[in-house]
Every structure is written in structure tokens, then in C-alpha cells.
A = this chain, B = another copy of it.
Amino acid sequence: MCQLLGMNCATPTDITFSFRGFSQRAGITSDHSDGFGIAFFEDKACRLFVDNQSAVESPIAELIRNYPIKSRNVIAHIRKATQGKINLENSHPFSRELWGRQWIFAHNGDLHDFHPRLSGRFTPVGNTDSERAFCYLLDQLVNHFGYDEPSLTQIFDLLAEISPKIAEHGTFNFCLSNGQALFSYAVTKLHWLVRAYPFQPAQLIDLDVEVDFSQVTTAEDCVAVITTEPLTQNETWTAFQPGEMILFQHGRPIKTQMTHIARLERERLNPELRRITKADQY
């Protein structure tokens, strides 16, 4: 499996503190060492760095830890391969252009027997279930809205309709951004917090590093961090509920919705089902 890290901010912010802790999990505090990737939006465009080396060993990850790229929307991913080879075309995050914006997607989980019909408008480059899900989501957006860009709320509503159907095929936790906002969805595991004025010190879990955010921020700063497992030990992280979708903008959750995943209900009524599917391996 994999781990996800997302950041959505009111003002361009660098992610070096969170990424330092997160990247420890690529071989030191955990074994997510089959490549990594990170995307930084600047308005509608984005920079995507990927490497098939681990985020501990990769010179590209070392650059990211030391070169503070400021961004309002960031999505990072460290991989422990379960489906697809360890090569560039299977590295998250994935990117596509739609409505004159780059879209970035990273997924945590496994999908089984997920082979939706795609129009050809978005075609997977690699062979992961994750990129297939991303292409399917974007295909559905175009099918529904055509080439007129809808509002964030309209996009959120459609994603909240489609995502639980994909989650019928397995574990589907994701972060998705178009540079305006960050859409996040969890079936099994995702956590979030908001850092805002008055800022406090934060202490990483994976590395003996503390930052006093009150010393490096202004009152306008506001940062939402979304991650598979909490990154700090002295802050309060909120767990996503199974099936919860949250839209973050300007560093805060602005819309949440609980979606109904029929598979989870069936598994609750019959726990035996849960053991015989591989969907919730984690």
C-alpha cells in the first residue's frame, strides 16, 4: 500500500516540515520505499517530482526537503507496491489537464476487478488501478459537464456520487486537486488538521524535529494537512469517517459529505465477507 500527504493553504506555504517527517516512512520509520512523488501547484499549473527511488534515498526527495517550494495545494505519495511494477509510469501522483488546469491525483488502497469503460479522453499511461480510477473520475466529469468548467461545489457533488461506487471495488482513499482546492476521500484511513492563528509548536512523530509555527507564520496563514497517519504527536488530528469526502479551500474544510458504500454495510452485517475480500488489506 501507500501513504498520502496533502496540503491546502490560504497563502503559498512550503511543505518541508511535513515532508521531512512523511518521507521518513519511506524506509526508516516504515517500509513505503517503492518510489515517491510530490506535486506542487502554482495557480493552474503544477510541478510534479517523481522518483522510483525511495523518498529516503532519492536525490530528488533530498532537493524537496531542502528547497522550500511555496504552494497553496500540494499532494505527495510514498509507495509500497502491491499492483503494477515499480516504474515511472506507475508512480503517483498522476496528472492530467482538464478545463485548462492541471489535475493531480494520488490514491491509497487496492481496487479489485475495476475495469470501467473509458472514452479515450483520459487513458492510463501505466497499469495501476489508481491511474485507472483517476482517468475514470475525470472522464465522468467531462461526460457530465462537457468542456464548460463547473464550480467546485458541482465537482464535489459529482465526486461524492461516483467515489462510493469505485469504493465498492476495494479501498479507495485519495487526494485530488486542480490547484483551486483539494478534494479528499477516505474509506479506511485518512486524517486531517488545520493550523491557524494562534499557531503553536509542532513536534514530528517520525523524526526528532520541532517547529514553532508562531515564529514563522502571519495571521493570514492557514494550512490544512491531510495524511494517512498523523505526522505530529502534540496536535489533534481528526480521522475521516468511512465514506467521508471533504473539500479543503483556503486552508480549511469548506464542505463535507458522508457517502454510503454498500460494501461496508454488507461487511458490517457479515464480518466473514470482510475477511474473504482483500479489499481492506492495509
- A117-125, A164-172, A188-196, A208-216: which lies at the interface: A117-125
Q: Is the CB of A123 within 8 A of B96?
A: no
Q: Is the CB of B89 within 8 A of A42?
A: yes
Question: A136 to nearest B CB, angstroms?
Answer: 14
Q: List chain B residues, Cβ under 8 A from A88.
A: 42-43, 45-47
For window 88-140 of A, CB contacts with B under 8 Å fall at 88-89, 91, 95-102, 119-126
Count of identical protomers in the assembly? 2
Q: Is the CB of B97 within 8 A of A45?
A: no
Q: If the complex has contacts A48-B48, A60-B67, A97-B96, are A87 and B43 also in contact, measured as CB distance less than 8 A?
A: yes
Q: Is the CB of B124 within 8 A of A100?
A: yes
Count residues of chain A with CB under 8 A from any CB of chain B: 36
Q: If the complex has contacts A42-B87, A63-B60, are A97 and B120 also in contact, measured as CB distance less than 8 A?
A: no
Bound-state CA distance A98–B123 (Å) is 7
Bound-state CA distance A79–B179 (Å) is 24
Question: A156 to nearest B CB, angstroms?
Answer: 21
For window 157-179 of A, CB contacts with B under 8 Å fall at none
Q: List chain B residues, Cβ under 8 A from A67.
A: 59-60
Bound-state CA distance A76–B96 (Å) is 21
The yes or no answer to A50 lying at the interface (CB within 8 A) is: yes
Q: Is the CB of B50 within 8 A of A50?
A: no
Task: Output the nearest chain B residue to A148 by Cβ-Cβ distance.
Answer: B120
Task: Output the nearest chain B residue to A120 by Cβ-Cβ distance.
Answer: B147
Bound-state CA distance A123–B125 (Å) is 20
Q: Which of B96, B126, B147 contacts A45 (CB 8 A)?
A: B126
Q: List chain B residues, Cβ under 8 A from A278.
A: none
Q: List chain B residues, Cβ under 8 A from A96.
A: 97
Q: List chain B residues, Cβ under 8 A from A43.
A: 87-89
Q: Is the CB of A89 within 8 A of B121?
A: no
Q: List chain B residues, Cβ under 8 A from A48.
A: 48
Bound-state CA distance A63–B60 (Å) is 8
The yes or no answer to A44 lying at the interface (CB within 8 A) is: yes
Q: Which of B66, B99, B125 contacts A97 (CB 8 A)?
A: B125
Q: Name 9 A/B residue pairs within 8 A (Cβ), A-sorted.
A: A43-B87, A43-B88, A45-B91, A46-B88, A63-B63, A97-B122, A98-B123, A100-B124, A100-B125
Q: Lowest 6 CB-CB distances: which A-B pairs, in order?
A: A120-B147, A45-B89, A100-B123, A42-B88, A45-B88, A59-B67
Residues of chain A whose beta carbon lies under 8 Å from any beta carbon of chain B: 42-50, 59-60, 63, 66-67, 87-89, 91, 95-102, 119-126, 146-147
